Structure formats: structure tokens, C-alpha cells
């Protein structure tokens, strides 16, 4: 009996996933447990494994399609089944489902039949090379449109000569290498400047949706304070001879312990709006900037870990984030977030809450400058911290007390 492979639901907030690529083509042998396709969720890229062995009979969506959780994505014919019969059985449902779930940030040209009907004289110009448009995957066509790559000049390396995303990207690089330098002469009078367009999809689209949701579903307010953190810098200078750690690691260590003293900052307002759930552990998220967007891996139960343990774990999470190897368990369960822009020369900013959390701490750069210390002007290391919190859960005074506790712990390095 044919087996349907559905879009999985990796977390409570996941409603849909975007198919990035299939590892198998229809007609190829599939073994149970091997990766069948890659899906992009609101948090991570995830490889979905084949639930059974057999032959991939049909894929019900193209690469680049966004599919609701629980919807069949592909069908595997079991050993002994007629693959053609299974594929034919699902072919009609594939045609019906594609328009409803496809994520189409780039406008596709009208079908050739419609173009011909509108202007018969242009029929020959629709496909100059006669290439079937389906020999290029949807993702490849989108990227080609974005990069201005002519698909007729690309040699496909996919199954049956199908043009893949990698083929288009390789072709774009080759064109950039061979193209002579563009003349610096002024454009003709009246000509419009060219505009680069990037598809609004994937991680960038998810971030936009979640930040918009956060601002419209909570009462956010930000307080900021500049503090003398010279003791913390001196502590790091001494202890860094023993093991490698960062100021962010020290901040995670301090925040986790402060959350245990101020449980309202480590809370969630339930979806029904009737209960505030106080979290037993401090699961501190660390915002990591990637080329394609922002990801927040989580140091779980950080209040029970030493600074050395936090340093090792946060470094490992950062490396996994940059290499694209984060698992779902690495990015879920956070109760509070830290975002550090100090390395970019930023002093203070207004961070936006991670949806569901009560607080997020923005960390600026540490700057040595003149300050009053014990009644005299002295060179001190100064740091700005910006705390955004949900005013529905906690008021300004308790939030300010939490921020004071964070700074005290950061400087004490206990």
C-alpha cells in the first residue's frame, strides 16, 4: 500500500513549512530513515526522513512550495507496487493542491497558450530555445529571475537534466566573472535607474511576521541604563588565562541567576490571557546574526551551569547556527533572550521581544571613558544595557530592579 509522506509539525507554533529541495526524484529507490526532502520552518532547516522503503512515486509539491502541516508532500510506493499506477492515482490531487500552497514571491509569466491567444504573432517568441519550463525547478526559476540568469544558457545537473538552484548560482558566478567591467558613463537622459529585487520569503519573511506579531500582541516598553563594568572587564582579563569566554557568556551567566531572583521576568502570559506562567528554569536565548536572518539558539537551564559550561555551550551553538546544523531542540523552549550589538559599535538600542517571552536584554559596546569614580574623574569601562519587557506581565519598577541585579551579578562575577 502506498505511503503518504506529510509535512511534519515540529513545534506548537509551526503551521507550515517550505520545501527547499528533494533529495530523491520520482522513480528513484528510497530507503527508510534516509533524508527524503529538506524543509525550512520558522526556526531551522530540517531534513525529513523517509518513513518506509520503496520507490518515490510522485512529489505532490515543487521545490519552493509552502505547505501546511499534515498535508501530503510525496508518496512512496512499497516494494511490489506498480509505481505508475500509484503516481497516476495522486496526479490529479497534485494539480489541485499546487496553487493553494505555492509561495510565489516572484511573478511567473502567463502560460504560453494564454500568450498565444492574446497575440498569435508572438507565439514563436514564448520559448526561443524550445526548452520545457519544467526542466528547471521552481526554486531555480525564482533565483534565475532574481539574478537575471538566462535558463536557456544553463546546463542542468539534476535528474533528467533538470536545472537546480546550484546550477543557477554557479551560472550567475560564471557570468559575473566573464562579464567585462560596466562602463561608468552616465546613463542616457530619461532612463530609469535599475532596481534590484529580492524575494520576500523564507527566514526573512518569518522574522518579519514574528516581529510584527510581537509588537501587536504585547505591551512593550524599553528602559536603558549606563553602568560602570570595570570590575567585570578586570575579572575577564584575569580568568581568560584559564579558559576562553566572552562578555556575552558572562551576561548569560548573570541574567540566568537574576531571572531566578525575579521570576516575573522569566514568565509567559498564557494565550488565553488569564494566567501568568512562571518558568522554573532560565532558558536563555542568544540572538545570532546570519546572512539570511536572525536565529536564537537557547542555553537551557543556564542558572544551573558554571561560566565555563555556558562558554562551551554557547560557542557550540554559535558554530552550529553559522553552519546551518541547529536542531529544533536547540532553538525552542527559550524563556528570555539576550541580543548583543556591541561588536558593531552600538551603544544602546530598542530590542523587540521574542514572541511569548516577557523580556529581552540588549547589550551595547563596552567603552573606556572618563567617569566619576569615588569622587574623582577616572578612566572607567562603561556599558549600556537596554531592557525591553512586556508591561502586561511586569511593571517598570520590578523590571528596573531586575536590570540592577543583572549589573551587580555581572560585576561581581560570583
Residue 248 in contact with residue 286, Cβ under 8 Å?
yes
- The C-alpha atoms of residue 163 and residue 149 are separated, in whole angstroms, by 12
DSSP 63-118: TTBEEETT-EEEEEEPTTS-HHHHHHHHHHHHHHHHHHHB---SPPPPPHHHHHHH
Q: How many CA atoms lie within 13 A of 281 on its CB side?
A: 12
Query: Looking at the DSSP assignment, which residues form a beta bridge with residue 367?
Result: 382
Contacts of residue 10, Cβ cutoff 8 Å, sequence gap at least 6: 17, 41, 43, 46, 328
395 is catalytic: yes
- The C-alpha atoms of residue 76 and residue 87 are separated, in whole angstroms, by 9
- The C-alpha atoms of residue 403 and residue 385 are separated, in whole angstroms, by 8
- The C-alpha atoms of residue 51 and residue 61 are separated, in whole angstroms, by 18
From 150, 152, 244, 395, active-site residue: 395
Q: Which of 88, 13, 25 is nearest to 332 (CA)?
A: 13
The dihedrals phi and psi of 36, each to the nearest 5 degrees, come to: -105, -45
Residue 21 in contact with residue 38, Cβ under 8 Å?
yes
391 is catalytic: yes
From 82, 134, 244, 391, active-site residue: 391
Q: How far apart are the first and last CA of the chain?
A: 62
- The C-alpha atoms of residue 414 and residue 345 are separated, in whole angstroms, by 28
Residue 246's region, left for phi above 0, alpha for psi from -120 to 50, else beta, is beta
Give SS3 for 288. Answer: strand
Catalytic residue list: 391, 395
Amino acid at each position: 500500500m502506498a505511503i503518504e509522506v506529510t509535512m511534519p509539525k515540529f513545534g506548537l507554533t509551526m503551521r507550515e513549512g517550505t520545501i527547499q529541495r528533494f533529495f530523491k526524484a520520482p522513480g528513484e529507490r528510497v530507503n527508510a530513515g534516509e533524508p527524503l526532502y529538506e524543509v525550512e520552518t520558522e526556526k531551522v532547516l530540517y531534513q525529513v526522513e523517509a518513513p518506509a522503503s520503496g520507490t518515490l512515486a510522485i512529489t505532490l509539491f515543487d521545490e519552493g512550495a509552502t505547505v501546511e502541516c499534515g498535508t501530503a508532500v510525496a508518496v512512496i510506493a512499497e516494494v511490489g507496487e506498480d509505481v505508475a499506477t500509484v503516481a497516476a492515482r495522486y496526479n490529479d490531487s497534485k494539480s489541485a493542491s499546487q496553487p493553494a500552497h505555492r509561495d510565489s514571491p516572484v511573478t511567473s509569466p502567463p502560460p504560453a497558450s494564454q500568450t498565444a491567444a492574446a497575440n498569435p504573432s508572438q507565439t514563436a517568441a514564448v520559448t526561443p530555445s524550445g526548452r520545457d519550463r519544467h526542466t528547471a525547478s521552481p526554486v531555480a526559476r525564482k533565483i534565475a529571475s532574481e539574478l537575471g540568469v538566462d535558463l536557456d544558457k544553463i546546463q542542468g545537473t539534476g535528474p533528467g537534466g533538470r536545472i537546480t538552484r546550484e546550477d543557477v548560482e554557479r551560472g550567475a558566478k560564471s557570468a559575473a566573472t566573464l562579464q567585462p567591467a560596466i562602463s561608468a558613463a552616465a546613463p542616457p537622459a530619461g532612463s530609469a535607474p535599475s532596481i534590484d529585487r529580492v524575494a520576500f520569503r523564507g527566514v526573512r519573511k518569518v522574522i518579519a511576521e514574528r516581529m510584527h506579531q510581537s509588537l501587536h500582541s504585547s505591551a512593550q516598553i524599553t528602559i536603558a541604563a549606563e553602568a560602570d563594568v570595570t570590575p567585570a572587564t578586570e575579572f575577564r582579563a584575569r580568568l581568560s588565562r584559564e579558559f576562553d569566554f566572552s562578555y556575552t557568556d558572562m551576561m548569560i551567566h548573570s541574567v540566568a541567576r537574576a531571572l531566578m531572583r525575579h521570576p516575573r521576568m522569566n514568565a509567559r502570559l498564557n494565550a488565553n490571557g488569564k494566567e501568568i506562567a512562571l518558568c522554573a528554569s532560565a532558558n536563555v536565548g542568544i540572538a545570532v546574526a546570519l546572512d539570511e536572518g536572525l536565529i536564537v539558539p537557547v542555553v537551557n537551564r543556564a542558572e544551573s551551569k558554571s561560566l565555563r559550561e555556558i562558554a562551551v555551550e554557547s560557542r557550540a551553538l554559535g558554530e552550529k547556527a553559522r553552519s546551518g546544523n541547529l536542531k529544533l531542540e536547540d532553538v525552542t523552549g527559550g524563556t528570555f533572550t539576550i541580543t548583543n550589538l556591541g561588536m558593531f559599535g552600538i551603544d544602546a538600542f530598542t530590542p523587540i521581544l521574542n514572541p511569548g517571552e516577557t523580556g529581552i536584554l540588549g547589550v551595547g559596546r563596552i567603552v573606556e571613558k572618563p567617569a566619576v569614580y569615588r569622587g574623582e574623574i577616572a578612566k572607567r569601562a562603561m556599558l549600556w544595557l537596554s531592557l525591553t519587557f512586556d508591561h502586561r506581565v511586569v511593571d517598570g519598577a520590578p523590571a528596573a530592579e531586575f536590570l540592577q541585579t543583572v549589573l551587580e551579578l555581572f560585576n561581581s562575577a560570583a
